Structure 1
């Protein structure tokens, strides 16, 4: 998984890895795949009756033995064979399509599941656009290929194999004439397989870069407007879009060159069979009817051969997307529960307490963000972490929560742990839906109680339909404070043993600061809590305060003990106190 380790992109599976994963996903559908083969072979064999009947009719006409009954009989046979062959092909395609989409659905579910469990720093290093592209553009590319790929792989392959057998049984020189031209197709495929994958991979990467630029522009919308960066972001998106256009033109050029080579192979095939037929008839080793049958069989062969070659063109795009999709499913991710993590570090379950022992953490190959951190939190205790921006506070919270596996050391935490950051999200849906995400069985009484505990009960009177009000995108827009209260209510309903608030009430300088602090106190009551304090007023009420600097814990104690020590924390508190009168809500400590 070198691509991920180097920070360039998420892992891309090899062809053999993708094949093994897809084969594993076909478990439970293999009887249907066998039925596809049986029905497809049957339909192909029936379709061979038509050229044989036409050749037989030609010989009877030349011999003068054909009459109306002969014509009607052979016509009826050809009609029945055409209907049966078409029906068999349709059944094979339907069965294959069903299996295809069932396997794709299973792969898509694994992709989303694994994507949600990927370590946050891995996704951020690769760029969220890469993951979004794999779960959208790549899935769409594979799904849209079904109408083209499935008929070719289910009918064309079988037609080629069975028709070649029929051609050899008729007159082996005709099969040999076709075989002489096969190197042309082989050279065409060799050229394409060397050129196509590189071009398609570049196109997919360009799409990922474009998605990344669009996502960054959308997520940073307020910043873009605030700093007047609209034109700059527009140009960045346009440059990424033009790179996609250039790569798309490259793929179309390769496809045109591919078509030209296929046309050459088709002309050479027809010419070879005609020449062989001429010499065989001239020597008396074949008849006009046999030559006609051979030519019809070859014409039947050319269409599926071209389809097969064309589908390989589509298949390259599909395989490029499949490799990217499967690559995500094969990546190691966070475990939803507290089980041993990858690397030297380990996260293990505990009854209710937290123990961090000599923990180190770095993002990829970067410098240490946490350096031999040791911290203990007793069951039911509330600990605040303060320090300057970049001290490692949020990283420590993420490691304890299990979002990031420690690079070294050991973390012990409760099995039920919930973390809330200041970047809370309101999902599109009803207010009830947003609350029951963490407690599906909660009653309306439970939801109202949670809202009341977090000071958000007044929200029900402000929205038109109470708990049934649509919120989020396309619905009633909640303020930042209301969204944070909603997140705290979710935590209360989840009833975790350990609650981690990573600046979860960061409404500094607003009239809602005190209300949010009280809401945080309510959700922490009776459970172990870790608070990354945005305001020192939050830290002061905790049982213990930890001061961090450059990834290390430099001070630890109660509020009064740290003030008496007259060190870093006391300086921060003095600055906080002097700023409280200058700014409503106080001064935030990064």
Structure 2
């Protein structure tokens, strides 16, 4: 089960509990456990070599005290110290390298799983939580774990072994020396318990504040035109500043807790040294120990200061890492689909490489699209789709029209698998592709943009797809042809070229069902005819669904669906709907009138377009 942080809202993405986090870490370690066993063996051996230095110095002190020391004794001691330092450093380096490779391999696997899951999480879940939360988890939290590696890996691969072996060495000298660690242990235990009771909550709050800041920054960037157009610059600036100050406040609280933690550690050190000096004085006084043995014990105890402090300081870092790790694993706990619908795989198509929608996990073959009583709501209260019953036969092309907010894009997203119906049944081909008006050109070459989901496609197929999309001249315009860098950091394509690229990408994928959600809406009237032809070519030989904003697109389809308020209110062929005298007929009459005044023009379907004039 997952649990949410106290500081996060009920709509935030889930945070994994401690048990689930460790189960995931254990699963990630599969195939690397032999490496971790080698790390343990090397770590213990390296720590044992570290006992040589205090023992040699203690023995040398006793020899000097008794007058038995010679130049050869000092030389042998020096050689032993150098050899011990070399072997210890070599063993520690090998331990850290092995542990680091396994650690980063596990982190890479987790990061890949996180990205894969994030791409398949229902969009409405992300929208309710805010994209900033997901961005923070895939960026800030990943960076937090990766940046902590240089501190965590050496500590847990060497320090733990050093503490264990040093305690054993102290006890071997005299059990009373071993009790020194026991004497200071309660201070460390109480310090750690105090910190663990406060630290995790503080760090979770800090991470959540970072998510809120990321959300506000992301919204301001994405809605830049709206912010400027409505004069909201100052308001957005103040909002970002306020969320940034929230991060500062939580960070200051975290650093305060950290400083209080370090103060308690210093107290344990002073107490341990005092106890050791008293015990050494008593043992030497009654002849139970020697000055050299006490010197060795003192050096061993001083040798513990660094490791123990490092370990507990890393516990501080580890709390932040675990907070980030739990947030990352929390994304993996989000179910991809939980609704009673089906996306049935069809017969295999050669090298389609298409990314499958989230609702494909079924077994029966079917090429048609079938919706039965489908309901969907973004917020769980107001329905965006109500009682949708719709069949689209194989090879049929339908157009969906309606006013803004009628539910057209929501219907497309549900069929494409972006949203999961709240109820009802959905059956669709496994190979389904959605093209929206928000075309994205990825940073990379033109070839990489075309082969995103079909890496095996050759240049001949890529050029044929561009020709079908009406972009045959695009390759010639680019200085390096298909190898030209486009998108961010490369050649910026025009809106029309971006839409042609998106349509060509679909042809390279070769899906069975293509959904065009106003895919030519942003290109402008100059390219509208060209893009309509490209869209028609994209639909050729495939089942197609067109969310139309121009009646020229709808009128060439086999069937037209008219939506209002999330419901289907009319359906039929273009001729049938024109004769019916309903919403479509009024839109058609308005379009014909517009063409009479402006040849080639046609009204866009707006919120009031269906009202009688």
2:442 alignment partner, one of 423, 427, 435: 427
Match of residue 487 from structure 2: 472
Determine whether 1:374 maps to 2:389: yes
Equivalent residue in structure 2 for 1:415, among 420, 426, 430: 430
Equivalent-residue separation in structure 2 for 1:346 and 1:19 (angstroms): 28
1:17 to 16, 20, 40: 20
Cα distance change, pair 226–194 in 1 and its aligned pair in 2 (3 A): same
Q: Select the residue among 308, 313, 330 that pairs with 1:310.
A: 313
Matches of 1:585 and 1:241 in 2, distance apart? 49
Residue in 1 that maps onto 2:343: 338
Alpha-carbon distance in 1 for matches of 2:544, 2:66: 99
Is contact 2:359–2:417 with CA below 8 Å preserved after alignment?
A: no
Shift of residue 483 of structure 1? 0.9
User: Hey, what does 1:588 align to over in structure 2?
Assistant: 604
CA distance, structure 2, for counterparts of residue 290 and residue 361 of structure 1: 77
Q: Taking structure 1 as reference, are residues 106 and 367 closer, same or farther at Cα in structure 2, changes over 3 Å only?
A: same
CA, structure 1 residues 477+435, in 2 after alignment: closer, same or farther (shift >3 Å)? same
Deviates more, 1:225-234 or 1:7-16: 225-234
Whole-angstrom CA distance in 2 between matches of 1:345 and 1:406: 13
Q: Does the CA-based 8 Å contact 1:348-1:413 persist in structure 2?
A: no
Contact kept in structure 2, 1:214 and 1:237, CA below 8 Å: yes
| Equivalent pair of 1:508/1:586 in contact (CA under 8 Å) | no
**8 A contact 1:424–1:484 mirrored in 2:** yes
Alignment partner of 1:281 is 2:297: no
* Structure 1 partner of 2:192: 189
**2:65 paired residue number:** 62
Superposed, which structure 2 residues align to 1:82-97 within 5 Å?
82-97=85-100
- Separation in 2 of the partners of 1:346 and 1:97? 37
**Cα offset for 1:348?**
7.0
Q: Tell me the equivalent position of 1:538.
A: 553
1:362 maps to 377
1:561 aligns with 576
Over 3 Å counting, the alpha-carbon distance change for 1:461 and 1:80 in structure 2 is closer
**After alignment, is 247-256 or 226-235 more displaced?**
226-235
CA–CA distance in structure 1, aligned partners of residues 522 and 491 of structure 2: 21
Q: For 1:129 and 1:301, how far apart are their aligned partners in 2? A: 43
Question: Secondary structure at 1:563's aligned position in 2?
Answer: helix
Q: What is residue 50 of structure 1 aligned with on the other side?
A: 53
1:7 to partner: Cα distance: 5.1
Structure 2 partner of 1:98: 101
Is 1:138 aligned to 2:141, yes or no?
A: yes
Inter-partner Cα distance in structure 1 for 2:461 and 2:428: 27
Q: Which of 481-490 and 305-314 deviates more?
A: 481-490
- Which range moved further: 182-191 or 227-236? 227-236
Which residue number corresponds to residue 148 of structure 1? 151
2-structure distance, mates of 1:510, 1:550: 28
- The whole-number CA distance in structure 1 between the counterparts of 2:75 and 2:514 is 84
Say if 1:509 and 1:583, in contact at 8 Å, map to a contact too.
no
CA contact (8 A) 1:343 1:406 kept: no
Cα contact 1:382–1:543 (8 A) shared by 2: yes
Q: Partner residue of 2:460?
A: 445
Q: CA 1:11 to 1:400, structure 2 compared with 1: closer, same or farther past 3 Å? A: same
Would the aligned equivalents of 2:171 and 2:177 in 1 still touch at CA under 8 Å? yes
Deviations 1:509-564 (A, max 9, x none): 62222221111111111111111111122111111111112222111111121122
Cα distance, 1:583 vs. partner? 10
Shift of 1:209: 1.5
Question: For the residues of structure 1 that align with 2:523 and 2:298, how far apart are their CA atoms?
Answer: 83
Q: In 1, are the aligned partners of 2:369 and 2:391 still within 8 Å (CA)?
A: yes
Looking at structure 1, the residues matched to 101 and 584 of structure 2 have their Cα atoms a distance apart, in angstroms, of 65
- Relative to structure 1, is the Cα distance of residues 509 and 409 closer, same or farther in structure 2, using a 3 angstrom cutoff? same
Aligned pair in 2 of structure 1 residues 296, 221: CA closer, same or farther (>3 Å)? same
Deviation of 1:446 after TM superposition, in Å, equals: 2.2
Q: Deviations over 1:323-352 (max 9, x none)?
A: 1111112322269x9369999999776432
Whether the 8 Å contact between 1:349 and 1:412 is mirrored in structure 2 is no
Aligned-residue RMSD, C-alpha:
2.5
Q: What is the aligned partner in structure 2 of residue 486 from structure 1?
A: 501
Cα distance in 2 between the residues matched to 1:26 and 1:559: 60
Tell me whether 201-210 or 31-40 shows the greater mean CA deviation: 201-210
Select between 211-220 and 337-346 the one with higher mean Cα deviation.
337-346
Distance 1:248 1:428 in 2: 35
- Contact 1:392/1:549 (CA < 8 Å) preserved in 2? yes
**How far off is 1:192 after superposition?**
0.8
Give the deviation of 1:368 after TM superposition: 2.0
Question: Per-residue displacement from partner, 1:417-437 (whole Å, max 9, x unpaired)?
Answer: 111111110111222221222
- Deviating more after overlay: 272-281 vs 371-380: 272-281
| CA deviation profile, 1:336-371 (whole Å, cap 9, x unmatched) | x93699999997764321111111112252322222
1:505 — aligned with what? 520
Task: Name structure 2 gaps, 5 residues minimum.
Answer: 346-355, 607-613
Q: Do 1:507 and 1:513's aligned partners in 2 also have CA atoms closer than 8 Å?
A: no
**TM-score (normalizing by structure 2):** 0.91
Change (3 A) 1:366 1:584: farther
Q: Check conservation: 2:398, 2:558, Cα contact below 8 A.
A: yes
Distance (Å, rounded) in 1 between the aligned partners of 2:242 and 2:129: 19
How many residues of Structure 1 are paired with residues of Structure 2 in the alignment?
A: 589
Aligned to 1:270: 273
Contact 1:7 1:125 in 2 (8 A): no
- CA distance in 2 between counterparts of 1:265 and 1:381 reads 78
Alignment counterpart, residue 183 of structure 2, candidates 180, 185, 201:
180
Closer, same or farther: CA 73–253 of 1 in aligned 2, 3 Å: same
In structure 1, distance between residues paired with 2:523 and 2:107: 47
Change (3 A) 1:240 1:576: farther
**Secondary structure of 1:512 counterpart:** helix
Normalising by structure 1, we get a TM-score of: 0.95
